């Protein structure tokens, strides 16, 4: 069995980028590979070596001698057929056989040719493994009068090569096309001529307790920038590490919720997402949420399978579970890089950093260091001794001490800058996280940070942003509004679906996936079991999605965030009503006639057993007010367990009509006694929607 070599290893050997090898494989050899981690066999590897570096002087001379001998011994028209077949077929460096090379005077052994620029007729003949005299004769027949040492262009030789059955590929144009497609768009105002490579920015996501912080600590402890003494002296929300002379910036976000919150404000700072999955625990609900957030951000995912030192570590099980979520390992034919890691022992750290840099290489990350700095606020706080302090990731340009700036509704002048090791800086280039003093007030995470020409201009920009804040258009969408937007170009209805059980969720996803009306389709951005939480709403805001709940209810924080962001949350108890509403929205027939308004939510803190077997719940009103005559529902861990009417509402021993937020009360419900501490009682009313 041929051992083979990975694309990135061969690229390193040849001194070219992995992207260039992938381009040559696709355009020259008609081989499409998913990424730089793919393996090619020895024959393909030798062909790539020959295409990139060309034959050595000895190899080229040897091939020409073979061609001359073959031409001299070529059988005549009257020769027996068997004498032609007697030519031994051995692979040549080009992938052609000697039998094909024997006909070199008449045609080329190369069936696909990548044109890399103007060349002489002699050079072209050598690369095509054919006789130069024959090539000149064919060029003359096409009207191109070129001597052996005369330079020809692609336009001059294309017709000749195609008449010989050779497919010609412009090796310069595909590279330009791939660069345009694969490179991250330069921030507005960047000069492409001045753009230089920058370090990738990485966010670590994953389930709680799967080792995100431990992994970051291991990376920073073992791979601090060379020449620096000591460890991390302070935490500024981001860290810069160095590996083999290349830098990587890690954002120290507390998880995918903060990641989503920044993206909800329009911040797109992450280039690569590292998904941390414990080898002994496998894929968990937060793992799936992290995958959805990374996909919504459209960033490549590198999986770090952590805790490989544990006794129950089973990386193959983790890979199977991730494959079910659409992350197929590259060794299984997929395009997701997965690296086993033990942060405790320091094993696999180098491999992980190498994979991050290789993935970033394909993105071709660049920035213009000569322009005014533009970046994003990563985190901010009010320090008692220093005032407003913010961590800013400079994404393009160079930030200098003394620069006036604006960040959202705040403005200021850079009084001082410090890196992640507490060292004072005078300037900071692209992909550099810095802690900045000089804000007039605390900015918000995700605010765009931009240097202005003067403090006056910065202040005016901040005041304008503050004035426009109230009238800023919300990014959410409702089912009733969708059809109108679909006529203006929106062709997909994005949904986030939460259900009470896995069976209900699968049934809903299958039924919704089959809905399609007039080329308008349904896309399920995320599906999960349990109540609607803050993460669901933030993901819906970023994706422009509607949140649908089946037998579940939103948390208070999720409801508040949805109101702020303009995200619609629709909850149902009957599956057919949910499907009917979605289909009507696709057809433009959904007209809201009634809406549900939550009046108040109370938490059950104590349970009292009354005479006659009835049970009363001692409650604390968390929000709104509890109204005696309003319908109620009991919610346990986000799932509705009962809907009905309130039997009584008491404040101490007195019957009351309502109890306001912040007060305690006693509640009994009709035909329900199964209260548990921690349950939520939600009262609501249904109102007619005014036309």
pLDDT on residue 414: 93
636-663 per-residue burial string, b: 16 or more CB within 10 A, e: under 16 = bebbbebeeebeebbeeeeebebbeeee
- pLDDT grade, residue 255 (50/70/90)? low
- pLDDT grade, residue 341 (50/70/90)? very high
For the chain, helix, strand, coil in percent to 5 are 35, 30, 35
- Residues 209-230, mean pLDDT to the nearest whole number: 64
Indicate if the pLDDT at residue 76 is higher than 70. no
Grouping H, G, I as helix, E, B as strand and the rest as coil, residue 53 is: helix
pLDDT on residue 547: 92
Rounded CA separation 190/367 (Å): 7
Rounded CA separation 104/309 (Å): 59
- 548 token code pair: 């649908």
Indicate if the pLDDT at residue 405 is higher than 90. yes
Indicate if the pLDDT at residue 234 is higher than 50. no
pLDDT on residue 64: 45
Please tell me what DSSP assigns to residue 624.
Answer: E
Indicate if the pLDDT at residue 435 is higher than 80. yes
Indicate if the pLDDT at residue 590 is higher than 60. no
- Residues 229-241, mean pLDDT to the nearest whole number: 56
Indicate if the pLDDT at residue 481 is higher than 50. yes
- pLDDT tens digits, residue range 24-48? 877 777 777 766 767 777 777 888 8
- pLDDT tens digits, residue range 531-577? 898 888 888 887 788 999 998 888 888 888 888 888 889 888 888 88
201-206 and 246-251 as β-strands: parallel, antiparallel, unpaired?
parallel
pLDDT on residue 34: 61
Residue predicted with more confidence, 209 or 409: 409
Indicate if the pLDDT at residue 266 is higher than 60. no
Q: Is the pTM of this model over 0.85?
A: no
pLDDT on residue 188: 54
pLDDT on residue 224: 44
Residue predicted with more confidence, 490 or 359: 359
507 contact partners, CB below 8 Å, separation of at least 6: 575
- Residues 362-390, mean pLDDT to the nearest whole number: 86
- pLDDT tens digits, residue range 293-309? 788 777 889 999 998 98
- pLDDT grade, residue 493 (50/70/90)? confident
Percent of the chain at pLDDT > 90 equals: 18
pLDDT on residue 603: 94
Question: Average per-residue pLDDT in the chain?
Answer: 77
Alpha-helical segments (H) within 502-629: 502-513, 534-543, 556-565, 575-587
């Amino acid at each position: 069995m041929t051992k083979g070599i990975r694309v990135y290893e061969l690229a390193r050997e040849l001194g070219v980028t992995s992207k260039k090898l992938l381009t040559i494989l696709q355009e020259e050899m008609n081989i499409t590979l998913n990424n730089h981690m793919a393996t090619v066999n020895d024959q393909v590897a030798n062909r790539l070596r020959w295409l990139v570096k060309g034959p050595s002087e000895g190899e080229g001379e040897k091939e020409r001698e073979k061609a001359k001998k073959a031409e001299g011994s070529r059988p005549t028209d009257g020769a027996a057929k068997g004498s032609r077949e007697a030519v031994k077929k051995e692979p040549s460096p080009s992938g052609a056989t000697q039998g094909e090379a024997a006909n070199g005077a008449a045609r080329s052994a190369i069936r696909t040719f990548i044109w890399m620029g103007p060349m002489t007729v002699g050079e072209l003949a050598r690369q095509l493994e054919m006789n130069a005299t024959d090539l000149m004769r064919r060029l003359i027949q096409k009207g191109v009068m070129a001597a052996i040492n005369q330079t020809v262009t692609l336009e001059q030789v294309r017709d000749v090569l195609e008449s010989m059955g050779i497919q010609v590929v412009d090796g310069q144009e595909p590279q330009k096309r791939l660069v345009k497609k694969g490179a991250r768009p330069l921030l507005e105002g960047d000069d492409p001529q001045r753009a230089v490579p920058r370090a990738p920015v990485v966010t670590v996501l994953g389930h709680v307790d799967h080792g995100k912080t431990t992994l970051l600590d291991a990376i920073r402890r073992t791979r601090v920038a060379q020449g620096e003494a000591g460890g991390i002296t302070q935490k500024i929300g981001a860290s810069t590490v160095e590996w083999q002379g290349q830098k990587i910036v890690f954002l120290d976000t507390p998880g995918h919720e903060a990641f989503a919150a920044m993206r909800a404000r329009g911040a797109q700072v992450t280039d690569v997402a590292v998904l941390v999955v414990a080898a002994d625990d496998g894929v968990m609900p937060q793992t799936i949420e992290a995958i959805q957030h990374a996909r919504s951000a459209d960033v490549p995912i590198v999986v770090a399978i952590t805790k490989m030192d544990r006794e129950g570590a089973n990386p193959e099980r983790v890979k199977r579970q991730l494959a079910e979520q659409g992350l197929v390992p590259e060794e299984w034919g997929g395009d997701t890089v997965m690296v086993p890691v033990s942060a405790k022992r320091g094993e696999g750290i180098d491999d992980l950093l190498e994979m991050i840099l290789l993935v970033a290489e394909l993105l071709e990350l660049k920035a213009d260091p000569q322009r005014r700095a533009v970046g994003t606020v990563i985190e901010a706080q009010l320090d008692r001794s220093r005032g407003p302090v913010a961590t800013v990731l400079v994404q393009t340009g160079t930030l200098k001490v003394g620069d006036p700036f604006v960040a959202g509704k705040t403005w200021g002048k850079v009084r001082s800058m410090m890196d992640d090791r507490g060292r004072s800086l005078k300037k900071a280039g692209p992909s550099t996280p810095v802690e900045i003093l000089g804000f007039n007030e605390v900015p918000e995470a995700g605010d765009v940070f931009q240097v202005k020409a003067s403090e006056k201009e910065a202040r005016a920009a901040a005041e304008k942003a503050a004035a426009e804040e109230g009238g800023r258009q919300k990014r959410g969408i409702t089912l009733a509004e969708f059809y109108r937007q679909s006529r203006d170009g929106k062709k997909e209805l994005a949904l986030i679906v939460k259900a009470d059980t896995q069976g209900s969720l699968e049934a809903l996803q299958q039924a919704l996936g089959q809905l399609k009306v007039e080329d308008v389709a349904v896309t399920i951005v995320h599906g999960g079991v349990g109540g609607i939480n803050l993460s669901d709403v933030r993901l819906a805001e970023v994706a422009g999605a509607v949140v649908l709940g089946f037998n579940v209810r939103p948390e208070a924080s999720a409801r508040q965030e949805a109101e702020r962001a303009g995200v619609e949350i629709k909850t149902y108890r009957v599956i057919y009503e949910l499907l009917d509403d979605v289909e009507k929205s696709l057809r433009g027939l959904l007209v809201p006639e009634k809406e549900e308004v939550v009046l108040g939510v109370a938490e059950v803190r104590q349970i009292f057993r009354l005479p006659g077997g009835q049970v009363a719940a001692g409650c604390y009103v968390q929000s709104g007010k509890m109204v005696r005559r309003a319908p109620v529902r009991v919610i346990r861990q986000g799932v509705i367990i009962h809907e009905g009417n309130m039997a009584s509402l008491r404040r101490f021993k007195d019957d009351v009509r309502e109890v306001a937020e912040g007060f305690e009360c006693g509640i009994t419900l009709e035909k329900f006694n199964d209260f548990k501490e921690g349950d939520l009682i939600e009262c609501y009313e249904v109102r007619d929607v005014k036309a």
